Amino acid sequence: MKFGIMVNEGPYTHQATDTAFLFAKAAIEKGHEVARIFFYHDGVNNSSSLTEPPQDDRHIVNRWTKLAEEHNVDLVVCVAAAMRRGITEGNLAKGFRISGLGQLVEMGIQSDRLVVFGD
């Protein structure tokens, strides 16, 4: 099965981000395809290279980057939501790219299931 995933909540403030990551990882491990993850609303904060959690905490941004590198997952950040939150190409974490809502629509069309995490 081919999954599209949409993340609407930021890291460290809501369980949705952790749940989305664990879902994507589990789906891939079970042999499913996760071709794209779209970050929207506060979810765009998952893409900031400025994130520096304490050493004893999980580094959510790095987890997404590693998932993208290891499994060829397209991490797309909504341009309008990113701009509203001060995220630009200059502070975008490795593995993420900024694009428009057309990428979300395309993901919905091309996926068997679109799974949304967060409000």
Burial of 86 (0-12, 13-18, 19+ CB in 10 A): exposed
Cα angle 66-103-67, degrees, rounded to a multiple of 5? 10
Residue 78 is a catalytic residue: yes
Cα separation, 67 vs 36, whole angstroms:
11
Which of the residues 34, 44, 60, 78 is marked catalytic? 78
Q: How far is CA 88 from the centre of its chain?
A: 15
* Separation CA 5–CA 36 (nearest Å): 7
Handedness of CA 33, 38, 44, 48 (dihedral sign): positive
Catalytic site positions: 78
